[in-house]
Amino acid sequence: MSDKVIITETGMRDGLQNQPTQVSTEMKLKIADALVAAGVTHLEATSFVHPKAVPQMADASDVLAGLKSFQDLNVSVLVPNMKGYEKAKAHGIKDVGIVCSTTDAFNGRNLNMTTEQVKVVCTDILKASKEDGINVRVYVSGAFACPYDGKMPVTTAQEMATFFLEAGADSISIADTIGAGNPRQVQQILKPLIENAGADKFNLHLHDTRGQALAMAWAGLELGIRSFDSSVGGLGGCPFAPGASGNVATEDLVYMCEEAGLSTGIDWVKLRDAVKVAEEATGKALGGRIINWMISQEEREAAKKATCV
């Protein structure tokens, strides 16, 4: 089993999409610069959604243009439909994410379609992607619980994941969109899927609303999952999922993996600079638990020096 863990930083998309303060393109690129300096190599940069629905993503084209100067950065975008897919393709993007939620209620609020309609749209994108040489990850949103219909049976996410794998998805992300899951659910959902398709086909997208994200990530690691989404400083939230707070903080996930002997290629200490830029951009105090620990250690050392004569 590989010790290399791929972390896709989603702060610029999932982290910012629900922020009330409009973040400029310049600040978004400043966040990207700090993330790359810390070792981030996989970045979900934006999404091609209607600007009236998600105003923060209105500058998607400008953000992607600005990211072209970054060498060896794997840039992905989220697309809601074929129109968004075609825009991503026109920008030369080789990795896209598409979403299908587990319930009609969630798909209706998120994409204004029924689940079956979303499946058709996603299947069409998957067919096109094979001809275009574009990798597609399908997000099974609300895999653990729906913000409208509550807790989901594990079979719902399993059946949806299997459907999209058979339709040609390159990978499947099991997404705890509202942070309502627990480690046992991770095992229950993913174990049979991994037995059938292999761990390298799956990703975990976790929100930390109830403080379970790191425990769920560890459950995934024990199953062989080596691909995760996270967000700098714990930024996050879905405008169509009430109660969905931030994603698992990138710095916390990196720290856990590195301390456990797994390699992310990311320096969790340097991520603090990215957190500071994200704070500047959003006007919010951010940071995972490891940031708070770092601050406490600095305060402790400062106190020691202050009492020395």
> What pLDDT does residue 245 have?
65
d(CA 208, CA 202): 19
Return d(Cα 259, Cα 264) in angstroms, integer. Answer: 11
Residue 89, helix vs strand vs coil: helix
pLDDT by residue (tens digit) across 189-233?
999 999 999 999 999 999 999 999 999 999 999 999 999 999 999
Long-range contacts of 285-289 (CB under 8 A, 24+ apart): 286/232, 286/233, 286/234, 286/235, 287/233, 287/234, 287/249, 287/251, 288/233, 288/234, 288/248, 288/249, 288/250, 288/251, 288/252, 289/249, 289/252
Give me the residues paired with residue 263 across strands.
4
Q: What does the pLDDT read at residue 203?
A: 98
Q: Where are the domains of the chain?
A: 6-307
Compute the distance between CA of residue 184 and CA of residue 197 in angstroms, rounded to an integer. Answer: 20
> 100, 122, 146, 238: which is the annotated catalytic residue?
238
Q: Which positions ≥6 away from 104 have C-beta within 8 Å?
A: 114, 115
Of 101-115, 148-162, 231-245, which gets the smallest average pLDDT?
A: 231-245
238 is catalytic: yes
Q: What is the pLDDT of residue 2?
A: 87
**Long-range interactions of 68-71: CB distance < 8 A, separation 24+:** 70/32, 70/33, 70/36
Residues 86-107: what's their mean pLDDT?
97
The reported pLDDT for the residue numbered 308 is: 56
Reference 249, options 222, 220, 283, 211; nearest CA is 211
Q: Which of 106, 200, 194, 96 is nearest to 144 (CA)?
A: 106
Whether the pLDDT of residue 100 is over 60: the answer is: yes
Superfamily of domain 6-307: Aldolase class I (3.20.20.70)
* Helix-strand-coil split of the chain, %, nearest 5: 50, 15, 35
Q: What is the mean pLDDT of residues 169-176?
A: 98
Give the tens place of pLDDT for each residue, 108-123: 999 999 999 999 999 9
